Structure 1
Amino acid sequence: MKPPRIGQGYDVHAFGPGDHVVIGGVRIAHSHGVVAHSDGDVVIHALCDAVLGALALGDIGKHFPPGDERWRNAESRHFLRHVRQLAADAGYLVSNADVTVICERPRIGPHAEAMRVNLASDLSIGIEDVSIKATTSEGLGFTGRNEGIAALAVVLLWPHR
């Protein structure tokens, strides 16, 4: 039997013009949008990189190039469902996912459960297998200055055949 595999991912987007952000598949009203080719969902982008990394299949940019017009303003949940299927095709299921969002604003806590529901659905796992945490940068760095948002993700892939 194949061994389990672990992957980690990171994503960051600068804030720009707009009135909302999409985080974990949840549209959240905010004073800014993000500068991105797709919807700029840092949580899902970090998760995609974690799954792809565990599979040794490169990064999200390899699979969904930012210069490809098909992905302009695309909903990132599509990306997550795609990488989950790549894992299944390779003989793996996502066992669990742990995500940390790093920003001063918007507040993540009020939206964390909705994010967990979305991610669990897209990864075909139980909500109890998805963790969303948030932290600030205590006013330090680009996230601390409210210039952008970042996310870290870790996943465990478990062999299913």
Structure 2
Amino acid sequence: MQNITTVITPIDFSDNAKMIADSAAYVAGKFGAELHLVFVVQNFEDYSGFFVPPLNLPNLSKDLLESAQQKMEEFAESCREQAAAAGVSALHSRVLNGDVAEEILNYAKEVRGNLIVMGTHGYKGLERIMFGSVADKVVKTACCPVLTINPYRQDCSGEE
């Protein structure tokens, strides 16, 4: 098996995102690996058959990317201390734009990721019904191993 030097963790800023990032930091730290936090802004073109956006689409996309970048910087900063304590060699963050699963997979190839650590559940509802499970797509097509974490499962030891 290949050495684990680069761990990629997709986040979605849901209530579970910090727990997933902390778990990924723990795993990355055990290997002395880098941790890459990734957020993907979904393309609005994917929704074009469902609605007509009330605003100028290019401006809306730009605003979403800028907002996501700001939120990512804050999120990464909140993870920095935990990651350092866990032994993570470096913490990186990136905001991407496109199909969520495809962008995660492309980023893993770009940075030569050795492991993807991601939650099995993020935001739910209509988006999941229309586009399917991102985790499922990533697990089935990733170029490296994928560790999934179900944030709603109780610890096997009985502790929460």
Query: Structure 1 length normalisation: TM-score?
Result: 0.32
Higher share of residues assigned strand: 1
Larger C-alpha radius of gyration, 1 or 2? 2
Query: Structure 2 length normalisation: TM-score?
Result: 0.33
